[in-house]
Amino acid sequence: MRGIPSVLNTRVDVETCHALALTGEIDSAELKKKLQDLFSDEKIWSFKSEVASTYIPLSNEKVITEIDTAGQTKYICFEFVDNPNARFLQMGFTKAELENLINQL
């Protein structure tokens, strides 16, 4: 491998780059940023329910308005939740494992 791959696709990519960064063969600051970027899809907005216009959202919610085909205004509530399909989870890492790798750099 020469340098850091443009995309870290697998757990092996991450572990190999991490080992190379610890020995100084690749730039640890650049790798650290790429590892932190794996958290970018950690949380997502997920449909929760249709609500009344007077609904007050919680801190992890947002309400959007939508006009349906009949011209009726609907108020849709979305909740900010953990993404079960986050990239770091697909690679086989837990959040703690990835944070530990980042902290070692």
Tokens for 51, please give them.
Answer: 């609500």
Residues 89, 75 within the same domain? no
Residues 72, 88 within the same domain? no
According to the model, what pLDDT value does residue 40 have?
94
Distance CA 49, CA 18 (A): 42
DSSP letter for 57, please.
-
Residues 51, 15 within the same domain? no
The tally of domains found in the chain comes to: 2
According to the model, what pLDDT value does residue 3 have?
74
Averaged in consecutive runs of 10 residues, what is the pLDDT profile of the chain (105 residues)?
82 93 91 94 95 94 93 95 95 95 93
Host domain of residue 28 = 1-42+84-105
Distance CA 70, CA 28 (A): 56
According to the model, what pLDDT value does residue 1 have?
58
The number of beta carbons lying within 10 Å of the beta carbon of residue 18 is 19
State pTM to two decimals. Answer: 0.76
Residues 26, 57 within the same domain? no
According to the model, what pLDDT value does residue 20 have?
92
Backbone angles phi, psi at 99, to 5 degrees: -60, -40
